């Protein structure tokens, strides 16, 4: 059974703080990892799709790394802004399957 875990469950930071969250997953049969940003009342929006061990991706102030051998991914936000407030979901895909298995998400609140 593929179980994806995220920590922390929630996080409250001040504007300008940098922060990071963790997604952990079983390393066997790994195929891909997706990060999504989900604001209330909006669609989950893809941030990154990562497949290779050691992958690092960046989009503006947000970046992510992937370690498939030990089964974790980090998402970093540099200089958090109030508009970064959202739930950040990671989802894992195993070889041969078409379903994303989601973690519980990390709810980020950035105060001005």
Partner 1 sequence: EPEVTQTPSHQVTQMGQEVILRCVPISNHLYFYWYRQILGQKVEFLVSFYNNEISEKSEIFDDQFSVERPDGSNFTLKIRSTKLEDSAMYFCASSEEPYLMTEAFFGQGTRLTVV
Note the maximum CA span of the chain.
Answer: 44
CA dist., res. 35 & res. 93, Å (int): 12
Closer of 52 and 83 to partner 1 (Cβ): 52
Q: What are the backbone dihedrals phi and psi of residue 86, each rounded to the nearest 5 degrees, phi first?
A: 180, 175
Closer of 80 and 86 to partner 1 (Cβ): 86
Give least dist CB 76 to partner 1, A.
Answer: 19
Q: Encoding tokens for residue 66?
A: 């992937």
Give least dist CB 15 to partner 1, A.
Answer: 27
Closer of 41 and 83 to partner 1 (Cβ): 41
Positions touching partner 1 (CB under 8 A) are 31-32, 34, 36, 41-46, 49, 51, 89, 91, 93, 97-105
The residue among 24, 11, 15, 2 whose CA lies nearest residue 83 is 15
Give least dist CB 46 to partner 1, A.
Answer: 3
CB 101 within 8 A of CB 4: yes
Closer of 67 and 94 to partner 1 (Cβ): 94
């Amino acid at each position: 059974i593929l179980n994806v875990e995220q920590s922390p469950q929630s996080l409250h930071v001040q504007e300008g703080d940098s922060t990071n969250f963790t997604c952990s997953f079983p390393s066997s049969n790994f195929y891909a990892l997706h990060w999504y940003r989900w604001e209330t009342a909006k669609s989950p929006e893809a941030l990154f799709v990562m497949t290779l061990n050691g992958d690092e991706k960046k989009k503006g102030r947000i970046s992510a790394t992937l370690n498939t051998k030990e089964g974790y991914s980090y998402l970093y936000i540099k200089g958090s802004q109030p508009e970064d407030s959202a739930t950040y979901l990671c989802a894992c895909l195993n070889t041969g399957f078409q379903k994303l298995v989601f973690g519980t998400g990390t709810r980020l609140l950035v105060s001005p």
